[in-house]
Chains A and B, each alone.
Chain A
Amino acid sequence: MARLVVRWPARLPVNLMIGALLVALVVGVAALSLIWTPHDHAAMTIRNRFQPADGVYWLGTDQLGRDIVSQLMVAARNSMTVALVAVLIGGSIGVALGLLASALGGWVEDLIMRVADIGFAFPALLFAIMLSAVFGPSLTIAVAAIAFINIPVFARVARASANQVWTRDFVAAARAAGHGRFAISRDHILPNIAAPVIVQGTIEFAVAILAEAALSYLGLGAQPPSPSWGRMLSEAQTLMFMAPHLAIYPGLCIVIAVLGFSLLGDGLRDITDPRLKRRRA
C-alpha cells in the first residue's frame, strides 16, 4: 500500500489536481463560514455602502453596506449544502432505480429507462419554476427540483454500468451460489459501479451549483437574508456600471466552484476509467 501512495502523485492528471485544489478552496471557505466570517454577512450599515476594498472590508461592501467577503463565504456554504443534499437524494434514488432496471430487465427496465428519458427531456429550470409556482419559492423547493432532475442522470449511469457488471463471471458465480437478483445487486453490482457513480456525482455537483445559482438569480432559491451567489448577481445587475465588483465577485465564485467540481469529476473519470487511461498513455 505504501508504494501506491508514493507512486500516485506523479501519475495524477493535471485536471484532477487543479479541480481538487479549487474544490478544496471552495469547500474550505464554506466550512470556515460556519465558525468565522470577517463581518456579520447580514449586517447593514448604510453609511458604509459601496465601500471600496480596504483593510476592513476586503472586497468592499454592497448597496446596503453589507460585507461582500462574508456574504460570499456564507453563500458558498449555502451553495455546497444545496448541491450536496440534492445530489445525494437524486443520486440515491437514481442509482436505486438504475440497479432495479438492470436487475429485473425486460419491461421493467424499459419502463424505468423510458421514464428517465422523459425526465431528461424536461428542462430542469422550467421544472423548478413550476414547483416554485405551486409551492412558493424556497430553498427546499430548489433542492427538491435539483434532486429530481438528477434522478434520470444517475439512473442511466447506474444501469449502463450495472448491465456491464451483470455479464461478469463473478455474478454468474453468485447466481450459481443461489443468490437472488437483489442480493447480487447490493453485494456485487453496487460496489463495482461505485467508480462511475462517484465520477457522475462530482460532475452533477457542478451542475447542481450552477442550477442553484440560476434559481437564486430568478429569486427561487435561498430567500433573503440568506445570501446566495445567484441572488447577489441579480441584485448587482442594476448597479453594473456603478459598482461592477458586486457582480464580478459572485460570478467569479460560481466559475471557481463549477470549474473545480467539473475538473475534479473529469480527473476522477480519467483515473478510474481504464479505457480513457489507455488513450492518454
Chain B
Amino acid sequence: MQLDRVSVAFGAAVALREACLQIEPGTRLGIVGESGCGKSMLGLCLMGMIPDAGKVSGSIRLNGKELAGAPEHVWRRHRARDVAMIFQEPMAALNPLKRIGDTVMEPLEVHEGLSRSAARARALALFDEVGIPDPDSRLRQYPHEISGGQRQRVLIALALACNPSLLVADEPTTALDANVALRIIDLLVRLSETRNMALVFISHDLAAVARATQQIAVMYGGDIVERGPTAQVLGAPRHPYTIGLLGARPGLDNRGRGPDGRRKRLVTIPGTVPPLFELPAGCRFSGRCTREIASCALQRPQPLALGAGQVAACHLLGQAHAGAGAS
C-alpha cells in the first residue's frame, strides 16, 4: 500500500497534510504522535473510512490500484480481504447485543460464502490462532462476559477472518493494562510474521511501537515530521519534535534528585498542541520548537533524506545539509 501526498481537510482544519508512506507486504510500521496529531486519520485513510465531511486529496494506492476518492462500494471490496482494522476500545468495538461467534462468523459467511458450520470451524481455528482458550464456549458468549484482553483478541480474530494483507491497529493496547498489552503486541508481531501480513501500529506508546515495529513515522499536527527504521529514529532522532518526544519519557533516570540536590522533573515539550484550524502555516511545530529559526513559521520544511532510510522534515536539517554541501 502506498500513500502519496495524502491530505485530509475538514473545512479549514487540515487533519493530515501531504502524508507519504509506503507499506511493503509483511512489514510493520509504527505511527506515533500526540492526541490529535492525525495518526488515527491516517489509519482511517488506509481503510477508506474518512468521515463524509472530510476532503481527501492525494493518491492512495493498494497493489497499484488507485483508491483515493473511490466510492464506498469499491472500498468495501477491499476491506476485510485486503485491509482490516482493530480498534482502541475493544468493548465499544463489539456489538453488545450479538454473541461473539455471530460477530466473527458474519464476515466469513458474507465475504467468503462459507456455510454456517464451515464458518464456525474457521472461527474456532482463528480463536486458536490468536490464543483464545476454550474457543467453543467463547463463541456463545456476549462481549460483556469476557475480559478486555480476550475482547481485543476476538477483534484481532475478526480482523484476520478474511486473511487481509494489511492490518491497521489503531491504539490496540491503550485500553489494556500493561501486561496484557505486551502480550497483544507480541501476538500482533507473531501474526504479522507467520501470515506475512503488513501491520500499521498506531500508538502514542513509544515502548510499544519500539517493540512491535521495524519502521516508524512520527506525526505532529497532521504532518509526518520524521520517519525511518524504528531503531534508527528512536536511537538517533533528528527532528526537534522527535527529540523532545523521546526526552519527555518518564523513566528510572529522571526520578529522585539531581546532582544539584533539586528534584528532577519530567522533561516536557513546552506549550500545547494548537487546535487544527490554528496550526502555523509553515512547520507545524514552530511556536513550540526550542530551536526555531525565522523561516520555520512561514515556510513548510520538505522531507529530507538523512541516510539509512531516515527522513525528517526540518529547516535546521536542511540548513546543515546545504551548509555541508556548500563547504
Contacts and interface: CB of A to CB of B under 8 A. Distances in A.
Interface of A: 105-106, 168-170, 172-181, 183, 187-188, 191-192
Interface residues of B, number: 33
B252 interface: no
Contact of A192 (B87, B95, B107): B95
Given A169-B89, A188-B95, A176 B106 contact: no
Interface string B78-95: 111100111111001111
Contact of B93 (A105, A173, A183): A173
Contacts of A179: 76, 106-107, 110
A180 B71 CA distance: 12
A213 to B, nearest CB: 37
Nearest to A165: B95
Interface string B165-187: 00000000000000000000000
27 contacts: A169-B88, A170-B92, A170-B93, A170-B95, A170-B96, A172-B85, A172-B93, A173-B85, A173-B87, A173-B155, A175-B47, A176-B47, A176-B49, A176-B159, A177-B158, A177-B159, A178-B76, A178-B79, A178-B111, A179-B106, A179-B110, A180-B76, A181-B72, A187-B98, A188-B95, A191-B97, A192-B96
A203 B47 CA distance: 42
B87 A178 contact: no
Contacts of B81: 178
Nearest to B158: A177
Given A178-B162, A179-B106, A179-B107, A191 B80 contact: no
B79 A176 contact: yes
Contacts of B86: 173
B134 interface: no
B97 A192 contact: yes
Contacts of B107: 177-179
Contacts, number: 72
Given A172-B49, A191-B98, A177 B93 contact: no
Contacts of B78: 178
B260 interface: no
Nearest to B108: A177
B112 to A, nearest CB: 11
A173 B169 CA distance: 12
B46 to A, nearest CB: 10
A172 B43 CA distance: 12
Interface in B124-172: 155, 158-159, 161-162
A3 B36 CA distance: 44
A175 B49 contact: yes
B253 interface: no
Contact of A105 (B52, B87, B110): B52
Interface string B55-87: 000000000000000001100111111001111
Given A176-B80, A176-B85, A169 B110 contact: no
Nearest to B102: A187
A172 B80 CA distance: 12
B62 to A, nearest CB: 14
Given A173-B85, A178-B78, A178-B80, 11 more contacts: A106-B52, A170-B93, A170-B94, A173-B93, A173-B94, A173-B158, A176-B80, A178-B107, A180-B73, A188-B98, A192-B95
B79 A177 contact: yes
Contacts of A187: 95, 98, 106
Nearest to A190: B97
Nearest to A188: B95
A230 B84 CA distance: 60
A177 B84 contact: yes
A175 B79 contact: yes
Contacts of A178: 76-81, 107, 110-111, 162
Contacts of B72: 181
Contacts of A191: 95, 97-98
Q: What are the nearest 7 A-B pairs in CB distance?
A: A178-B80, A169-B92, A176-B85, A178-B79, A169-B93, A173-B93, A170-B95
